[in-house]
Amino acid sequence: MNILGIDTSCDDTSAALFSENQGILSSVVHSQVSVHHAYGGVVPELASREHLRSIVPAVSMALSQARMELKDIDGIAVTIGPGLIGSLLIGLNYAKSVAYGYGIPFVGVNHLEGHILSIFLEKEAPSFPFVALTVSGGHTSLYHVKGIGEYLLLGQTLDDAAGEAFDKVSKILELGYPGGAAVEKAGLAGNPGLVRFPKAFLSRGSLDFSFSGLKTAVALFVKKWREGAEGTAGITLADIAAAFQEAVVEVLAVKTMEAAARAGVESIVVAGGVACNKALRTRMEEEGRTEGYKVYHPRPSYCTDNAAMIAFAGYHRINRGKTSDLSVDVKSRFPIEDLESFKDGQRVKGTQ
């Protein structure tokens, strides 16, 4: 079975081909960073326009790299949420058109499920059950993953997602967009111990997250720092970036380890765009070794938004006859608990 995956959930237009026997055959991502850079963040209307320009070329390139044509496709998997409504509609309507025109079954996929399952695109993947931290610009959540299709939400952000906080702090520090990479680069030369920012662990035992207070604390400190207020002498922009990053990473690591302990698992998966952050990866691996957990990370290209993970997730659904009809619509908010549950404890043969 060959599955075409499509993802237009935010500002990247991506298409990929997955084969049940050979794994990922192609993965194409058209980035919009240059379009949104001047605005310091994603502009939804511009993102939709760029998806319109890029969706056909992205799919054509993915098919070409896989040496296939649309007539060779057995199913289409497309992200229907969560994400930006305008962006999601471009991918869904394209998928519907191809599915209808070629008589191909298609299925709507939850973007978060794609991130959770992205680790199975790697040669080394965990056995079920495991705890997954999905951490990106729009989401920061902890799940107890008992099998493909079986996800129990353990904790989530109550306000800003971690990636959103990175973008906002990058804008405050005038570092540019995308914020995650900019803050990480700036912080390399900094001393995180020179500035103390709040680390929101919330109520005792809570596995939820909150980063809005941290963002506000950074904004207030930067204002004082730029005014040369008492106590800010000798502090550099790099120190501020490093301190902010340390505050985010510590909370993510501590709560993830606590979640793994409560769930009684042996493995942890860290996925999503912020999982590219080297400080987070290092901290998770160190904490994992100390606490006795094996920590897995997808490669960076599978951490950021991509259609390969959507194709993989969609394969499992289509293979079990779980398809969507032409009435399916996109959802800006799409809790993964809304997915119709089905079990699968086996890894797909040939995944790479």
pLDDT digits (tens, 9 = 90+) for 212-244: 999 999 999 999 999 999 989 999 999 999 999
Q: Among the listed ranges 4-13, 34-43, 231-240, which one has the minimum average pLDDT value?
A: 34-43
- What would the mean pLDDT of 302-330 be, rounded to a whole number? 95
Dig out the tokens for 278 from the structure. 């080297």
Look at residue 288 in the predicted model and tell me its pLDDT. 97
User: Is there a single domain that holds both residue 7 and residue 146?
Assistant: no
* Domain housing 102: 2-116+302-338
Domain shared by 99 and 144, yes or no: no
Say whether both 153 and 268 belong to one domain.
Answer: yes
pLDDT score at 338 = 63
DSSP-based helix, strand, coil % in the chain, nearest 5: 45, 20, 35
Place of tokens 């590219």: 276
What does the mean pLDDT of the chain come to?
93
Phi-psi region of 149 (alpha: psi -120 to 50; beta: other; left: phi over 0): left
From edge to edge, which strands make up the β-sheet containing 150-156? 150-156, 140-147, 130-135, 267-271, 294-296
Q: Are residues 43 and 147 in the same domain?
A: no
pTM recorded for the entire structure:
0.92
Percent of the chain with pLDDT over 70: 95
Does residue 38 surpass a pLDDT of 90? no
**In a domain? residue 153:** yes
CATH number at residue 206: 3.30.420.40
Query: Residue 336: what pLDDT?
Result: 85
270 and 132 within one domain? yes
Q: Is residue 350 part of a domain?
A: no
**Residue 351 counted as domain residue:** no
Task: Tell me whether residue 51 is in a domain.
Answer: yes
Q: Are residue 209 and residue 314 in the same domain, yes or no?
A: no
User: Are residues 290 and 142 part of one domain?
Assistant: yes
Mean pLDDT of 167-174: 96
Tokens linked to 148: 């493909």
Lowest mean pLDDT among 57-66, 294-303, 304-313, 342-351: 342-351
